[in-house]
Amino acid sequence: MNEQIPDWVPASGFALRLAGVHFDAVRIQGQLGEEKAKELSRLTDYDPGPIVYELNGFRWMYFLLPPGTARERSWPSYAQRYTSRTRPALAFVGVPALYGTTWPLAWRSVPTPAAPFVDPGMLEKTFA
């Protein structure tokens, strides 16, 4: 796998990753999640870091933060955090491959060398 692609991104399909190990996650539902992703993208000069979204159901948007950072902040009630302290049955986040068939997951924004994770402080600014 390319050195610039984090090792938690699968080569094909998608994989479930335990939050708090490779990353923490903040999950926001539907249109509100999309609005936060758009605002975060503008705030970060269109390099917000890894954001995964579900293509069906509630259309959750997952903002992937550095491990150990989601619990350091107080998030609004509509933003659910996934950390090492989340019950294991609930703490798995689906991560799609960068290419190929990954349904029902997709990248809203991929991890990059400049933004391997979503900056928690910048995400927090979208809630102000």
Per the domain annotation, does 30 fall within a domain? yes
Predicted local distance difference test score (pLDDT) of residue 120 = 97
Per the domain annotation, does 84 fall within a domain? yes
Predicted local distance difference test score (pLDDT) of residue 128 = 86
Predicted local distance difference test score (pLDDT) of residue 89 = 65
Containing 116, the helix (H) or strand (E) segment is none
**What is the domain extent for residue 81?**
23-125
Per the domain annotation, does 3 fall within a domain? no
Per the domain annotation, does 109 fall within a domain? yes
Q: How far is CA 35 from CA 32, 50, 58, in A?
A: 5, 15, 15
Predicted local distance difference test score (pLDDT) of residue 3 = 57
Per the domain annotation, does 105 fall within a domain? yes
Phi-psi region of 94 (alpha: psi -120 to 50; beta: other; left: phi over 0): beta
Per the domain annotation, does 48 fall within a domain? yes
pTM: 0.94
pLDDT along the chain (128 residues), means of 10: 79 95 96 97 97 96 96 93 80 95 96 96 95
What is the tally of structural domains in the chain?
A: 1
Please check whether residue 124 is in contact with residue 73, taking contact to mean a CB–CB distance below 8 angstroms: yes
